[in-house]
A and B are shown apart, each in its own frame.
Chain A
Amino acid sequence: MNLVEFESVTKRYRLGEVEVTALDSVDFAVRRGDFVAITGPSGSGKTTMLNLIGCLDSPTSGEIRVAGQPVSGLDDHALDQLRSRSYGIIFQNFNLVPVLTALENVMLPLYLHGLSKDERQHRASAALAAVSLTRFADFRPDQMSGGQRQRVAVARALVTEPKLILADEPTASLDTASALSLVDLMKELNTERRVTFVFSTHDQRLLQHVSRVVELRDGQLSGDDAPGAGVTGAALVQTGDSEVA
Chain B
Amino acid sequence: MTVNPFVLVDDLAKTYGATAVFENLYFTIGKGEFVCLIGHSGCGKTTILNALAGLEEASDGVILVGGREISGPSLDRAVIFQSHALMPWMSVLDNVAFAVRSRWPDWDKAKRRAHALKFIELVGLGNAADKKPAQLSGGMKQRVGIARALSIEPKMLLMDEPFSALDALTRGTLQDEVLRICHQTAQTVFMITHDVDEAILLADKIILMTNGPGAVIAEIVVNTMPRDRNRADLHRHPHYYRIRNHLIEFLVDRSKQFDRSTFDPRKPKFTTPGLDTTTEEKQP
Chains A and B come from one and the same complex? no
